[in-house]
Structure 1
Amino acid sequence: MRDVFLTKGFAAASLDELSAAAGLNRPSLYAAFGDKEQLYISTLKHIGQKSVEAMDAILSGPEPIEQRLGRLYKGAIDIYTKPPNRPGCIIVATATVESPSHPRIGAAANEILASFEKAFERGFASSDLKPAPSPAERASMAGAILYAIGIRARLGVPAAELRTFTKSMIPVICR
């Protein structure tokens, strides 16, 4: 379902496409999720949870925080620029578009973004960086870079250019 929503967006994703992706018929899909909006929110939350788990695993590693950030951003770039359609980030690509008319989607997306920043904050708190800027302030910067990667990947910026961009930003975040 993630791929359908990323390719088509929330509004254009048909229930037939979503049913096929889920391997369920339409009545079963409705029984499981209620409506298309709730299906989207469930998909979004599942992706967000998996992403935070991956972020925590990378950011809690033993190497210096600069290397951990580099690995995290490389992983995001690899996912966001995956051929054939450069999916980018589902929050950036679809949730931001729908949130003005679907406040529950906006609320779910904001919760996920907050959990991303908490994961970054935990990583910075466990590092040997100076106390200022605070881990929360560094987390805001690191999150902004992650979202920028998602936007730029969706627009077709090559992976190599995104890697150059993140390599230039990591020292700014960590100084």
Structure 2
Amino acid sequence: MEQKENKRARGRPRAYDPEQAFNSARDVFWHAGYGGSSLDDLSVATGMNRPSLYAAFGDKHALYLQTLDRYVETSRRRMDHALAADLPLAQALRQIYDLALAMYLPAGSEARGCLLIGTAATQAVTDAEVRERLGNGLRSFDDAFEIRLRRAQEQGELDADAEPALLAKLASAVLHTLALRSRAGDARASLEATADAGIKLICGKATKRR
């Protein structure tokens, strides 16, 4: 009887932390992209065998879609929080770009850029579900910038004839440039200079100091 119980105990699946496992899987996709990430890679990273991985998150494609959804949701929440701060527009934008660079260039690790831009842009060519998430993610980031830019216009930081919707896409374009160039190996100082140039272009001479 005791021997059977021991066998049953050894056969039980190993306990795991769902959040930690999810983040580990996300990092695999972030590093190698969807096509370059195998089930074995995901299994090793999460410490879960294939059946357990499937039971927890679905197949590889479902797991990848979940990582994109979570990434966009988390990024948008951080953007909203940073842009809601009572700061001049130029400083608010710089805060966003500083936060992005901290994520794209993690301390003590290789440059990884943006999960959405770095992995979904290529997968979207042949995958409609990824393409939808890529588009929704980009529009979500545009929307976060546009809300702040409209507030800046209402407060007189931008000219009355400025177009917040177009400026928001420009602000997002700077973000995407930082993501791509960080992964390509550009130095942080160069990336910060790019961010500053983008801020000057967006704000122009209409930006007022408080």
Aligned residues between the structures: 175
- Identity of counterpart residues, as a percentage? 36
TM-score, with normalisation over the residues of structure 2?
0.79
1:34-49 equivalences in 2 (<5 Å):
34-49=58-73
- Alignment deviations for residues 121-153 of structure 1 (CA, whole Å, 9 cap, x no partner): 111122232233222111110001100110100
1:29 lines up with 2:29 in the alignment:
no
- Matched-pair contact (CA < 8 Å) for 2:124–2:131: yes
The structure showing larger relative contact order (alpha-carbon pairs under 8 Å, at least 6 residues apart) is: 1
Instruction: Name 1:118's counterpart in structure 2.
Output: 143
1:60-99 equivalences in 2 (<5 Å):
60-82=84-106, 83-99=108-124
- Matched-pair contact (CA < 8 Å) for 2:71–2:116: no
Kindly tell me: are residues 24 and 69 of structure 1, through their superposed partners in 2, closer, same or farther at Cα, counting changes over 3 Å?
same
1:15 lines up with 2:15 in the alignment:
no
Unaligned stretches of 5+ in structure 1? Answer: none
Cα deviation for residue 23 of structure 1 reads 4.2
What's the C-alpha RMSD, in Å, of the aligned pairs?
1.4
Equivalent residue letter for 1:58: A
Instruction: Name 1:173's counterpart in structure 2.
Output: 202
Instruction: Name 1:132's counterpart in structure 2.
Output: 161
Unaligned stretches of 5+ in structure 2? Answer: 1-24, 205-210
Structure of higher CA gyration radius:
2
Instruction: Name 1:153's counterpart in structure 2.
Output: 182
